[in-house]
Amino acid sequence: MRKFISLLKLQINARYGLSNVLYNIKSDKKALWKSIGMGLVILIAMAEIIGIYTFMMLQLY
């Protein structure tokens, strides 16, 4: 089981590690803009949800 956990950590680091992310950003500009766009979409969606929740709480109380 220890070997499996060790191998799993190695695979996760190889797939999603910081060096891999930096390499993909430098080599593929389309992936960079896709990541930036998704981040902005998530931020806007969260802001809308928080705004609607705040509006509802102010109207109820």
pLDDT at 43: 97
pLDDT at 37: 93
pLDDT at 35: 83
The residue range of the domain holding 52 is 2-60
Per the structure, the count of domains in the chain is 1
pLDDT at 14: 86
pLDDT at 60: 87
C-alpha distances in angstroms, 4 versus 13, 14, 16, 17, 46? 14, 15, 18, 19, 37
> Which tens digits make up the pLDDT trace of 2-42?
899 999 989 988 888 878 778 888 888 888 898 889 999 99
- Confirm whether pTM is higher than 0.75: no
| C-beta separation of 20 from 26 below 8 A | no
Provide the Cα torsion 29, 34, 40, 42; round to 10°: -150
Q: In angstroms, rounded to a whole number, what is the distance separating the alpha carbons of residues 32 and 18?
A: 14
Integer-rounded Cα radius of gyration of the chain: 19
Tokens of 34: 């896709």
